[in-house]
Structure 1
Amino acid sequence: MSLSEPQRGNVFLVAVVCLLVVGICAPFSGHDLQRGMQIAVGVCAVLYGLSVPRMERLLDRPTVVGLVLIVGLGLVSSVLAHQPLWAFAEVALFVSGGAVAVAFALLRRRGGEPLDRYLIMLVVLLCLIKSIQYVYAGTLAFISAEHTLDPDLLLSGFSNKRFYGQFQTFTLPLLALPLLIPTLSRSLRAAVFALLCVWWLIAIGGGTRGTWLGMGAAALVVALLGPWGRRWLGWQLAAVIVGLLLYWLVFTALADYLGIQVLNGASDRLTTSLSGRGPIWGQAWHMLVERPWLGFGPMHFADIANRTAAHPHQSILQWASEWGVPSALCVAVLAWRGGWATFGLLRERTLCSEPADLLRMCLFAALVGALVQSMVDGVIVMPNSQVWLALVVGWLMALHLWKTPETAELPLAWGAWKTLSVLAVGLLVFIAVRDVPHIQQAQQQYLDSHANLLQPRFWAQGVIAR
């Protein structure tokens, strides 16, 4: 018996929620499991997209042309790359992310405002589980007989605390949405605010400066969006102040009282150092200068071994050095057009208090924060961040209000997109089936010969240079 379209949407939603909960909240989670989660989400998105008979208007024609150019240039660059299969895998990740964004947009268009509530419930659930894990780990650390405490060890589910910080950059803006809804009861409002304060405590304790930078930029932009934007900013500032107070009470006052020395405190991160980014930024720049038109090939920063990372921690340099300057310009133009269109819509509806308008503002804040953080961090590289980036973009696409009349259907374009997305996720599944059975052995071999340091890119051991 075949499922109806709403039932297929529900199956897709439940599958994605389960994958996200396992990929983010499982104690054994990490980069490789999250990459597997991302591929599984991509498969679900493609299957859902294939079940949709008619493509609704999600993009305008210039955006479609820009995306075609980006994918086309990426394919040509991949053919000329040193390791074409890995280059094609990076293009496949880009296409898979697009399929996830389209699937979320179609799901929201068909499900309407109830889907917005499900999204916020998902964010609250994930943040609540991670907060409970953090508080539980902190309680065990304080009641143990140890005389030192490293707050970094309280973070679980991510291979690196910066990846945890990227997830917080996406969720901190969204977690404030319930506080803006006038009909929310006082008790629920207090509970959500308490969760937001703890979430900020974790962000402060984690010490990810990219998260602080991204949220600061998002706050400046949202403050320009009228009274509701300033109200959002007020709740965030209140939560930051409470989070700072909690951090001082727990990691300074209580730790001193119990005679526990705190290592890697948040104050130690208040520096302007590049934390080793200088050399990898330099490597990306030299790659860009050497091959400006098509780059070295997608993912091919990881094909030139260095002692720091398999990606340059800077999205513009990464894209330009790997895909080429023309492709990077296309990405930048599309990002600017989409962001400016959303900003203009938010300014037009600045006094609207409809839940969809408030959600659009929070999603835009999350997108701004993530894009700013990508200037100093690997937001466009890490699997969980790629999934959330696709989710935010897809939801914004669904909520966008078009000023021009809808154009005619383009069945050939929709068919070509379906074919491309199937090929993309097929390649990703092939790589996962090929690598996963031997992944631990390959990682251990790399650790034994490279100073016990993994450099994540596609997998946790992401260096593809041979």
Structure 2
Amino acid sequence: MTLSVQRRGSIFLVLAVCLLVVGICTPFGGHDLQRVMQIAIGFCAVLYGISVTPTEPWVDRQTALGLSVIVGLGVTSSLLAHQPLWALTEVALFVSCAAIALAFASLRRHGGEPLDRALLLIVVLLCLIKTFQYLYAGVLAFASGGPTLNPDLLLSSFSNKRFYGQFQTLTLPLLALPLLLPTVSRSLRGMAFALLCAWWLIAISGGTRGTWLGMGVAGMVLALLGPWGRRWLGWQLAAMLGGLWVYWLLFTVLATYLGIETSNDASERLTTSLSGRGPIWWQGWQMVAERPWLGFGPMHFADIANKVAAHPHQAVLQWASEWGVLSTLCVAVLAGRSGWATVAVLRERARSSERADLLRLCLFAALVGALTQSMVDGVLVMPNSQVWLALVVGWLMALHRWRTPATATWPLAWTVWKVLSVLAIALLVHVALRDVPHIKQAQRQYLDATGSYLQPRFWAQGVIAR
């Protein structure tokens, strides 16, 4: 039985990695492809999840009750919404992300510490591919002989450079893990540091301020969690300075020598402006004031068309305006309890140099950084960011050390969860089969009718208002 579970876990991991590579590394990819890949990963996660019977519960009773309330409030809000099917699609997306998290948690629980090395290899592989793509595009740009060079054009596979920045916020903390492990050789540590510098170079080139904010807050939090947290911060600062130095050499020294003018330089984006967020934050606040308890319905910020975006670029406003204040409070309480429980384990294991403890530290930094960035960006909306958030949460669940012995599993609750996850992924597959064949046509019609630009939400054209 154990071998069978491990084999199914291996199949799920291979499929998930292949789908991640396609979604993140395909040059012609973007938001819609990443959404399809997310649904495919969710489908694999549900199949894997329903085939595994847990020997102990993943969460305590209070957390399970809170999640049930959130889903119940979401369904109720959806049924009262202007477009119930789109609202239920957003609830299904939430459930599928939970299924992905549980699948990764189950994978790590059954696979043990070797899966930690596999996770690190996956992160390194993806970041290496993206780094080679960036450097290759840079070589072509410098060799083209053009009079100007825009660093934004060196970024590929993402519809918007901010979405790329979200991916970097979730992976920069994990790339520092080899630099913390005492058993890593000096040559491997040098290569790991070079990759981290290159990843910071791309982050600086992209200029996503949310990444800087997220990494800054994560660094301050980890500095309070013991010597390994401060060592993690030291490596990140060193790599950031290395990336900044390389950026200066490439886009200032080399560009000047070749007579190339750099447009959209990173220094031009070091501002405190809201970049158009003011109107959509105000719209979100008005929606909360008008329907405070159950909100307008999940995804229904996109049902009120505006000229800026189909989501408010602020996680709390988004959840409160769409799902309601009651659901928002439940989410905040659960996030606070889970975060505090993880901090307690991190402080208890603050001086441990075991791989699992150092990985837990890096995963927590990624989670803090992403949640911080979600206060100013659409981390909770973009498909790739949702998958990586689910992966980080699931791995942290698997690594968690319970202070009290785990209670017995609840067969009825597990059965209800399996039914719910199957229904959720079935709805998402239905929406994908319905929309994907007509996506390009729908986008052209929207652009012709509005003369605007695409506003991503579920799809790249995310405005559902009719």
**TM norm. shorter chain > 0.5:** yes
1:456 aligns with 2:450: no
Shift in Å, 1:162: 0.2
What pairs up with 1:160-199 in 2 under 5 angstroms? 160-199=160-199
Amino acid at match of 1:369: G
Structure 1 partner of 2:405 = 405
User: Residue by residue, what CA displacement relative to the aligned partner does 1:413-432 show, whole Å, maximum 9, x if unpaired?
Assistant: 00000000000000000000
Give the structure-2-normalised TM-score: 0.99
User: Residue by residue, what CA displacement relative to the aligned partner does 1:216-235 show, whole Å, maximum 9, x if unpaired?
Assistant: 00000011111111111111
| Structure 2 CA distance for aligned equivalents of residues 54 and 149 of structure 1 | 54
Structure 2 partner of 1:308 = 308
Structure 2 partner of 1:274 = 274
Confirm or deny: 8 A CA contact 1:296 1:323 kept in the other structure: yes
Structure 2 partner of 1:80 = 80
| Structure 2 CA distance for aligned equivalents of residues 206 and 276 of structure 1 | 18
User: Residue by residue, what CA displacement relative to the aligned partner does 1:40-76 show, whole Å, maximum 9, x if unpaired?
Assistant: 0000000001111335321111111110010000000
| Structure 1 CA distance for aligned equivalents of residues 390 and 291 of structure 2 | 29
1:62 aligns with 2:62: yes
| Structure 1 CA distance for aligned equivalents of residues 113 and 99 of structure 2 | 22
| Structure 2 CA distance for aligned equivalents of residues 442 and 245 of structure 1 | 44
| Structure 2 CA distance for aligned equivalents of residues 182 and 111 of structure 1 | 23
Q: How many residues align?
A: 465
Instruction: Spell out structure 1 runs of 4+ moving beyond 4 A.
Output: none
Label 1:107 to 1:329 Cα distance change in 2 as closer, same or farther (>3 A).
same
Confirm or deny: 8 A CA contact 2:198 2:243 kept in the other structure: yes
| Structure 1 CA distance for aligned equivalents of residues 232 and 374 of structure 2 | 23
Structure 2 partner of 1:379 = 379
What pairs up with 1:62-461 in 2 under 5 angstroms? 62-461=62-461
Amino acid at match of 1:322: E
| Structure 2 CA distance for aligned equivalents of residues 346 and 66 of structure 1 | 24
| Structure 2 CA distance for aligned equivalents of residues 356 and 33 of structure 1 | 33
| Structure 2 CA distance for aligned equivalents of residues 53 and 396 of structure 1 | 20
| Structure 2 CA distance for aligned equivalents of residues 225 and 368 of structure 1 | 13
Shift in Å, 1:452: 4.2
SS, match of residue 405 in structure 1:
coil
| Structure 1 CA distance for aligned equivalents of residues 335 and 155 of structure 2 | 32
Shift in Å, 1:459: 0.1
Confirm or deny: 8 A CA contact 2:57 2:408 kept in the other structure: no
Confirm or deny: 8 A CA contact 2:30 2:157 kept in the other structure: yes
Confirm or deny: 8 A CA contact 2:24 2:34 kept in the other structure: yes
Shift in Å, 1:3: 8.1
| Structure 2 CA distance for aligned equivalents of residues 182 and 3 of structure 1 | 32
Task: State the percentage of identical aligned residues.
Answer: 75
User: Residue by residue, what CA displacement relative to the aligned partner does 1:17-48 show, whole Å, maximum 9, x if unpaired?
Assistant: 00001100011110000000000000000000
- Computed over aligned residues only, the root mean square deviation of the Cα atoms, in angstroms, reads 1.0
SS, match of residue 27 in structure 1:
coil
Amino acid at match of 1:343: V
Unaligned residue ranges in structure 2 (runs of 5+):
none
SS, match of residue 301 in structure 1:
coil
Q: Which moves more between the two structures, 330-339 or 275-284?
A: 330-339
| Structure 2 CA distance for aligned equivalents of residues 341 and 16 of structure 1 | 28
| Structure 2 CA distance for aligned equivalents of residues 375 and 263 of structure 1 | 28
Confirm or deny: 8 A CA contact 1:55 1:414 kept in the other structure: no
User: Residue by residue, what CA displacement relative to the aligned partner does 1:397-447 show, whole Å, maximum 9, x if unpaired?
Assistant: 000000112212200000000000000000000000000010100001111
